Structure 1
Amino acid sequence: MDDPSQLADRIAALETRVEQLEGARTGATRPDPDGTVPDRLRAAAPEAGGVAFAGSLELPGGRRIAWKMGHLAAGMLGAGWGKIAPALAAPGHPVRLGLLQAVLSGTRETAALADTLGDGTTGRLHHHLRELTATGWLRAERRGRDDIPADRVVPLLVVIAAAGGRIRDRRMDHDR
């Protein structure tokens, strides 16, 4: 092995292998063969990037949700955010958050949801249900029964995760 190019290739291969082993030992994330989400966002919009979120879960009662969404950063930064204030504010109320949590947990009947308020006042319950329905967080399935639309389940959980950090379960480590 007198050829310097062979030696350089072998050294490069060894350096790559050491980096892989060191990453595995320290718990660093390994490259996704299809590219990481940040890699794909950079490829889709190399100048400004973007934001993506996704989820796959089974709710109590067996309802399966698999959903993803991505937005280019330039479009988001240039949009009028004031228009979405009602949709952000609606689930921000503690009672409404409790109602959304109850619905995701399988309580969908209005009478059962009234019990989650603890004071038995249906007027207050209907006020909160109307706010959540008007902003798209709830949908009336039929009279006296509400549900969260499939395209709102993952975004709701993303908002909860972002606002709450580590909630009950360990947070999954992701690419940085």
Structure 2
Amino acid sequence: MTDETDDRLLALEARVAALEAQIAAPTPRVDGSGLFTYGGQARLGGYEWSWEVARSPEWLMEQPSAQLATVLAAAGHPARFEILKLLVTGPRPIAELQAELGLASPGQLYHHLKTLTAAGLVDQPERGVYRVPPRAVFPVLALAAAAVDVLHQS
């Protein structure tokens, strides 16, 4: 395949994954607690994203804390969040990640990637290449937005 074909295939995969995530998302339960929504449009790394999620605050608070904490802890480490910031713009080979992060050894990078992968924030579409999967792009952006909002309110 050519680079152009690869790029088009990746863009198509991203669009399909975003649509599948919207279809698979739990239907928000209508209750007295209201509705929390987030979404938008973004252009990152040559890809275009469109996303909208709506959840009942009550439903969100009923989710298992341990599972939520796994995702938050994985994203909460400074080195891992830096990896997410790089990968949210598109897939990168391990050597490029290592160079951009200024790491002398790939061992520490693999450790962080394993944690991010276990939390569902990163996947490996091909050998030696990592990315934020399309279904996680907007949630990663939402984590960054929430952190910025908390910082600017204090």
- Correspondence for 2:86: 102
Are 2:92 and 1:121 equivalent residues in the alignment?
no
Q: TM-score, normalised by structure 1?
A: 0.64
- Correspondence for 2:66: 82
Q: Percent identity?
A: 31
Q: TM-score, normalised by structure 2?
A: 0.72
- Correspondence for 1:55: 40
Q: Which runs of 5+ in 2 are unaligned?
A: 1-28
User: Per-residue displacement from partner, 1:13-65 (whole Å, max 9, x unpaired)?
Assistant: xxxxxxxxxxxxxxxxxxxxxxxxxxxxxxx83621121111211112x2111
The Cα RMSD (Å) is 2.0
Which structure has the highest helix share of the two?
2
Are 2:25 and 1:65 equivalent residues in the alignment?
no
In structure 1, how many angstroms separate the alpha carbons of the residues matched to 2:48 and 2:120?
19
In structure 1, how many angstroms separate the alpha carbons of the residues matched to 2:150 and 2:32?
32
Q: Which has the higher contact order (CA 8 A, sep 6+)?
A: 2
Report which of the two structures shows the higher radius of gyration computed on alpha carbons: 1
Q: Spell out structure 1 runs of 4+ moving beyond 4 A.
A: none
Judge conservation of contact 1:54–1:67 (CA < 8 Å) in 2: yes
Q: Which runs of 5+ in 1 are unaligned?
A: 1-43, 168-176
- Correspondence for 1:157: 141
In structure 1, how many angstroms separate the alpha carbons of the residues matched to 2:79 and 2:115?
11
In structure 1, how many angstroms separate the alpha carbons of the residues matched to 2:100 and 2:84?
11
